[in-house]
Every structure is written in structure tokens, then in C-alpha cells.
Homo-oligomer: A and B are copies of this chain.
């Protein structure tokens, strides 16, 4: 029965996502894997190192995920060039793919819950939660809307409402949909199609006539 680092990380992640880092003991992690806690230390130097490697893994995966989407990368490239070809359509598509990512990708699902539980602990965790799940994506799409307004890709109503509010209107339903998923996973299909309906409505409403 050879346990590897990957298995330990996933078992620990699932427990951290349910109870939070401090509430999960090394015995619990080991128990989940059918080994004793001493054996964990053959693979990781400490419980903290397991946590750190989860973060590291997620940051990597998130960067890969960002590259796959149609929208420009989330890095701070002030280069306006990259924003130039963003369409309302691809932004809405991005929202729907984000829902799938945070609910159906196993690692992303549990990581999201874990970081939700750790967000108020210290500045580092708060920043991670912010960048990946709350104000980060909002700021990011606000910048895209700003550019789209400047380039006259949206209608006059959109210009009047402003980039920040547009970003909130687009991103908020995604956030709530994810929460509804957590409330009852069985509603997944309904939530998914409702979100699709809502983004279609969004697209229709603000596109240039």
C-alpha cells in the first residue's frame, strides 16, 4: 500500500474544506488514508507543509485555467492592446466556464471551500480569497468593461451605468450560483442553465444595437 504525496494532499484538502485547517488533525488525515499519522511525515515535513503545497498546487492550476479561457490573462499587464479584442460574448462565456470550474473540477471545488474557511484568519489568506474569488475577478472584469466602453463596444445604457457596476452585474450571479450549488448540489443542472439564461440576458441587454 504505497501512499503518494498527491493522495495525501487530496485527502487533507477534503478535510480542510469541511472543518478548516486547525480543526483537522494529522490523525484524521492519516485515518482517511488508512495509515498512521507517523507515516505522513515520510512525505511531508509538517501539517503546515501539506497546506502550503495545496496552495502552491492551486496557484499553478489556476494559472493554467486562466490561459485556457478566451479572455486575456489576469496578470497586471497594463498593456491595453490585449483587451482590445474582448467581446461581451466571450466575457459571458467566461462566467459560465468559471461556474463549471469551481463546482465540477474536484480540486478547485474543495480548494474554494477551504480558502473560504481560511479567509478571515490572516492577511495572506484574505488576499488569496480576494484575488481568486471575490474582488479580484470583479476588478478584472471591470477593467475589461472600461476598455470596452472606451472602444465603444457597448450601448449607451452601459456607458451610463459604468464599468464597475457592469462588472458587479455580470459577476454577482456567478457567485450566487456557486453558493446555491453549495447549498444543494443536486440543483446543479438547474443552476447551470439558469446562469446561462442570465448571462444571455446580460449579453442582450448591453450589446451595441
Tell me the nearest residue of chain B to A187, going by C-beta.
B135
Query: Which residues of A56-84 are within 8 A (CB) of B?
Result: none
Given that A22-B22, A117-B120 are contacting pairs, would A135 and B180 also be in contact in the complex, using a CB cutoff of 8 Å? yes
Q: Which of A99-107, A143-151, A165-173 contacts B (4 or more CB under 8 A)?
A: A165-173
* Chain B residues with CB under 8 A of A89: none
Which of B22, B175, B197 is within 8 Å of A175, CB to CB? B175
Given that A117-B120, A172-B173, A180-B134 are contacting pairs, would A165 and B20 also be in contact in the complex, using a CB cutoff of 8 Å? no
Residue pair A173, B169 in contact (C-beta under 8 Å): yes
Residue pair A172, B165 in contact (C-beta under 8 Å): no
Given that A172-B173, A183-B135, A184-B135 are contacting pairs, would A113 and B117 also be in contact in the complex, using a CB cutoff of 8 Å? no
Residues of chain A at interface, number, CB under 8 A? 39
Q: Say yes or no for A194: interface residue by CB 8 A criterion.
A: yes
* Chain B residues with CB under 8 A of A172: 172-173, 175-176
* Chain B residues with CB under 8 A of A164: 194
Which of B134, B161, B176 is within 8 Å of A201, CB to CB? B161
Q: Say yes or no for A30: interface residue by CB 8 A criterion.
A: no
Residue pair A130, B161 in contact (C-beta under 8 Å): no
* Chain B residues with CB under 8 A of A165: 194, 197-198, 201
Q: In whole angstroms, what is the CA distance A176 to B138 when docked?
A: 9
* 27 sample A-B contacts, Cβ–Cβ < 8 Å, listed by A number: A18-B120, A18-B121, A19-B22, A19-B121, A20-B23, A20-B117, A113-B120, A116-B116, A119-B182, A126-B183, A134-B179, A134-B183, A135-B179, A135-B183, A135-B184, A138-B176, A138-B180, A161-B201, A165-B197, A168-B173, A168-B176, A169-B173, A169-B198, A172-B173, A172-B175, A175-B175, A176-B176
